Structures are given as C-alpha cells and as structure tokens.
C-alpha cells in the first residue's frame, strides 16, 4: 500500500447507484484517479475493506432508515473531507416523495408484510445529519464535474462548479428556447446548471434533475407555466420529482397547491 497517497472512501445510502457508478464511468480518467488516490473503500468496485480513516469521502444516497442515520455519523467521523454526490444525497432524491405522503400506506402498497420493513417516514439529504464540505448536484451527477471536484480536492482548491441556472447555460449554448418557441413547460429558469442544458438540446423541456438554482423565482415560473396552459396538477407534479424535498421546490409545490386550492 502506498502510504503517501490520499485515501478515498465511497459510500452508498438510499439511491440507484448511478452517481457512484459515474466514478466508474470516467473511463478516460479512472486509472489516473486510481494512481492519485488510494481507493480504500468502494464496495461497488472492490472487496477491499479498509477501516479508515479516509482523506476524501464521497457519499451517494439519502437517509431513510434509523441504521443509516447512525452510519452517516460514523462515516463523517472517518472522513477529513466529505463530498456528497447527487440529488438523493443533496435533497433526499425521488424517494423523498414519501415526505409528502403517508409512509405506512406506501409500505403496504409494495410489501405484503409491512412489519418486516424498518424505515423512516422521511428521506433526508446528508447535510441534515452531518456537516458536508461540498454538495455536487444532479440526477445523475455530471462526470466532468465529479472529475473537477476530485482534482480540486487533490490540488487543494475550490471546485469550479457553476451555480447559475439551466436557462442561462442553455442561452450560452445557443439552443432555441423550448418554452418560447415550443410552448413547452420548461423548468430551466429555476433549475441549477450542471447538465449542460441537455434537454433543450434534444427539443425537450428541462425537468429539474439538478434541483433548484440559488434564489430561484419560483412563483414567476409557476405563473408562466399556468399562463402557458399547464394544469395545476401538472405544475405541482413537475416540482415533485427527483428533488421534491429541496426547500425551494418543496415550498413552492405546497404553497401553489394551497393557493390554487383556495382560489378554486
């Protein structure tokens, strides 16, 4: 074992594996990363079972069970620098839709014997449980941004990750606006950049994979969507996907639900 290399640990909580898989999908950079960092714990990739401590920790997934709420504390204590990756880890993920519903009912829809299932009523981001050093957004994360976060760490600098909106990114790329030209219900103006404004490039409206941007003007967009002809249910559902529990999306979906109910 090379003792001069920084040690990397990768952990998974409730998630689809896609964000940690992104590390293995850095096909051009993976072996270089493995030269620079000692991959000491990464269950998806190796049987190594290093007890730690770790210099850099990457955590995917959200906290949904009492055991996981304890496990994240132990992992934080083992990691000098903790980066959480993906919509589950940064906002609770799609499984946070449970936060707005009755958990017992959900469990019983899926499991014939719900009492075997040990679960929390909510799905929460890692930052609600421990201090995190950096949050990388996306469902899934962008692999170039992951490589940037890792190299920034290795070079002792701040990651260069933009915090603007998909809408601004889309303009920079020169895509035709799907909202103006196609009357599509686009979440680009309120969604955090990072995907490269993929959807508009494919003639599709943004559907919010990267969660809310900093200080989004939520009501302005929901009003515009309504003016465009979107139904109340469509607008509420559009905010309740992979980042449903991100505060800006959650609050607007609840307020909009309430406001439009009292008007109708």
Partner 1 sequence: MSKTPDPNPEPRTRTIKVDYLARVEGEGALDVRIEAGEVAEVKLRIFEPPRYFEGLLRGRKFTEAPDITARICGICPVAYQMSACHAMEAACGLVLDEPLRNLRRLLYCGEWIASHTLHIYMLHAPDFLGAAGAVEIAREHPDLIKRGLRLKKIGNDILSLLGGREINPINVRVGGFYKTPTRDELNAMLDDLRWALDAAIGTVQWVAAFDFPELEYDYEFVCLRDGEQYPMNEGRLVSNRGLDISAHEFDEHFKELQVPHSTALHAQRVGGGSYFVGPMARFALNADLLTPVAKAAAQSAGLTETCRNPYKSIIIRAVEVVFACEEAIRLVETYAPPPAPFIEPQPADATGYAITEAPRGILYHRYRIEHPGQILDAKIVPPTSQNQMTIEDDLRRVLMNNADLSDDQLGWRCEQTIRNYDPCISCATHFLKINVERR
Residues that bind partner 1 (CB under 8 A): 12-22, 24-25, 27-28, 30-31, 34, 39, 42-49, 64-65, 67-68, 93-95, 97-98, 101, 105-107, 109-113, 116-117, 119, 123, 139-140, 195, 198-199, 201-204, 207, 209, 234, 237, 241-242
Q: Which is nearer to partner 1, 34 or 77 (by Cβ)? A: 34
Quote the CA–CA distance of 19 and 55 in Å, as a whole number: 20
To partner 1, the closest distance from the beta carbon of 17 in angstroms equals 4
- Taking the complex as a whole, the smallest distance from the CB of residue 185 to partner 1 amounts, in Å, to 12
Decide whether 15 or 165 has the Cβ nearer to partner 1.
Answer: 15
User: Which residue, 45 or 161, has its beta carbon nearer to partner 1?
Assistant: 45
158 vs 204 by CB, closer to partner 1: 204
> Peptide bond preceding 53: is omega within 30 degrees of 0, i.e. cis?
yes
Q: From the CB of 106, what's the least distance to partner 1, in Å?
A: 4
Give the distance from CA 34 to its chain's centroid.
25
Reported as half-sphere exposure (CB side, CA atoms, 13 A), residue 209 has a value of 18
Minimum CB–partner distance for residue 111 and partner 1 (Å): 6
Question: Is 140:18 a contact under the CB 8 Å cutoff?
Answer: yes
Burial 96-123 (b: 16+ CB within 10 A, else e): bbbbeeebeebbeeeeeeeeeeebbebb
């Amino acid at each position: 074992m090379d003792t001069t290399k920084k040690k990397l640990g990768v952990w998974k909580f409730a998630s689809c594996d896609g964000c940690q898989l992104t590390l293995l999908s850095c096909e051009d950079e993976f072996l270089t990363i493995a030269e620079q960092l000692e991959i000491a714990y990464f269950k998806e990739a190796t049987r190594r079972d290093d007890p730690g401590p770790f210099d850099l920790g990457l955590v995917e997934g959200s906290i949904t069970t009492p055991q996981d709420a304890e496990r994240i504390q132990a992992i934080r204590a083992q990691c000098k620098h903790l980066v959480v990756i993906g919509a589950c880890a940064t906002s609770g993920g799609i499984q946070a839709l449970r936060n707005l519903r009755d958990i017992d009912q959900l469990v019983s829809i899926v499991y014939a014997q719900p009492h075997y299932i040990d679960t929390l009523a909510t799905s929460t981001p890692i930052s609600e449980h421990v201090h995190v050093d950096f949050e990388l957004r996306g469902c899934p994360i962008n692999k170039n941004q992951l490589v940037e976060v890792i190299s920034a760490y290795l070079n002792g600098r701040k990651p260069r990750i933009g915090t603007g909106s998909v809408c601004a990114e889309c303009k920079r790329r020169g895509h035709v606006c799907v909202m103006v030209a196609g009357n599509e219900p686009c979440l680009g103006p309120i969604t955090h950049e990072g995907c490269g404004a993929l959807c508009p490039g494919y003639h599709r409206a943004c559907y919010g994979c990267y969660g809310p941007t900093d200080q989004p003007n939520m009501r302005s967009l929901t009003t515009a969507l309504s003016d465009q002809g979107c139904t109340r249910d469509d607008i509420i559902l559009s905010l309740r996907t992979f980042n449903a529990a991100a505060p800006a999306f959650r609050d607007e979906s609840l307020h909009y639900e309430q406001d439009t109910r009292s008007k109708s």
